Amino acid sequence: MPRPNLSQTAAQRRAKKAAEKVASKTKTKAKTPSVSTQSTGSRNSDNSAITPTKPTPISLIGLNEIEPNQIVSTLPQFSSNAYLVKDPLNPPDSIPQISQQDYEIKQGIYEGAIRAVKLTGTSFDLARERFTTEGKRAKAFSAGVKYATDAEKAKGDYLDYQSQLEVNQQKQIAFNLAQSKTANDQARANYSEQEMAEKLAQSEATLEVARSQTQEKQNQLDEFRKRLGALTK
């Protein structure tokens, strides 16, 4: 069986003092030096002193935060001085000791705790991979949304093309109709010109006939006058 735990108690007191000493040094280093405002105050004596704004502490919900001066207090208590041995062949009885049975029991506890911590760490690894996969899934979803947007834009462009094609076809029909109308108007104009030429020719022929008839009647009149003159003599 182990000796009374007086040495362990002394070792714990020494570890506590060491932790307090480290914490006090850390607090001393954390103090901010005062800033002199003498030169500014001499030039602006009437202005009030500007008080620096303290930064607002940020707290992450769900995470156990710790400051450097708190690390020592979270570590197991240990004093290396309690295990000093001057004569290797004659170790002092004051060295902290534990029986084999207690060692096996507590070693089993530590090993079980290590397995539990490792298993908990594996669960965090799983959570990390899950978040990574969810991030990839979100990126894939975003890419899908972008593709759907581009597809809709492509549909819009295609519909614009189809609409423009219909407009062009309507313009082509109107152009063909205008061309046909122009050709018909040109043909009617040609026919009208020919008709006018024929009517002119007919008028000229009628004129010639009328002239011939007039000349014939004039000849008959002259012959009649001649005969009438011969009778009167």
Residue scoring higher pLDDT (201 or 32): 201
Q: How much of the chain, in percent, has pLDDT values that exceed 90?
A: 48
Residue 78 is assigned to a structural domain of this protein: yes
Q: Is the pLDDT of residue 212 over 50?
A: yes
Please give the pLDDT value at position 101: 95
Q: What mean pLDDT do residues 145-154 have?
A: 95
Please give the pLDDT value at position 85: 92
Residue 23 is assigned to a structural domain of this protein: yes
Report how far residue 137's alpha carbon sits from residue 17's, in angstroms, rounded to the nearest whole number: 53
Q: Is the pLDDT of residue 39 over 80?
A: no
Tell me the torsion sign for CA atoms 120, 123, 125, 127. negative
Residue 76 is assigned to a structural domain of this protein: yes
Sequence letter at residue 40:
T
Domain that holds residue 87: 1-27+70-97
CB 13 within 8 A of CB 111: no
HEC string of 5-25? CHHHHHHHHHHHHHHHHHHHH
Q: What number of other Cβ atoms are within 10 A of residue 79's Cβ?
A: 19
Task: Give the number of C-alpha atoms closer than 13 A to the C-alpha of residue 56, restricted to the C-beta side.
Answer: 3
Q: Is the pLDDT of residue 46 over 70?
A: no
Task: Give the number of C-alpha atoms closer than 13 A to the C-alpha of residue 60, restricted to the C-beta side.
Answer: 4
Count, residues in the chain: 233
Least confident range from 27-36, 72-81, 118-127, 186-195: namely 27-36
80-119 pLDDT per residue, tens:
999 999 998 999 999 999 999 999 999 999 999 999 999 9
CB 103 within 8 A of CB 97: no
Residue 79 is assigned to a structural domain of this protein: yes
Residue 18 is assigned to a structural domain of this protein: yes
Residue 87 is assigned to a structural domain of this protein: yes
Please give the pLDDT value at position 64: 78
Report how far residue 121's alpha carbon sits from residue 123's, in angstroms, rounded to the nearest whole number: 5
| Mean pLDDT of the residues in the chain | 82
Take residue 14 and report the two structure tokens written for it: 């020494």
Q: What mean pLDDT do residues 172-180 have?
A: 95
Q: What mean pLDDT do residues 40-65 have?
A: 64
The answer for 134, left when phi > 0, alpha when psi is -120 to 50, beta otherwise, is: alpha
Residue 45 is assigned to a structural domain of this protein: no
Distance separating the N- and C-terminal Cα atoms of the chain: 203
3-state secondary structure of 92: coil
Q: Is the pLDDT of residue 213 over 80?
A: yes
Q: What number of other Cβ atoms are within 10 A of residue 7's Cβ?
A: 19
Q: Measured between alpha carbons, how far is residue 130 from residues 67, 123, 136, 181, 222 in Å?
A: 29, 10, 10, 75, 135
Q: Is the pLDDT of residue 4 over 50?
A: no
Residue 50 is assigned to a structural domain of this protein: no
Minimal CA–CA distance to 178: which of 170, 163, 192?
A: 170
8-21 pLDDT per residue, tens:
555 556 656 655 66
Residue ranges in the chain assigned as alpha helix (H)? 6-30, 38-43, 71-74, 100-232
Q: Give how many domains the chain has, as a whole number.
A: 1
Please give the pLDDT value at position 1: 38
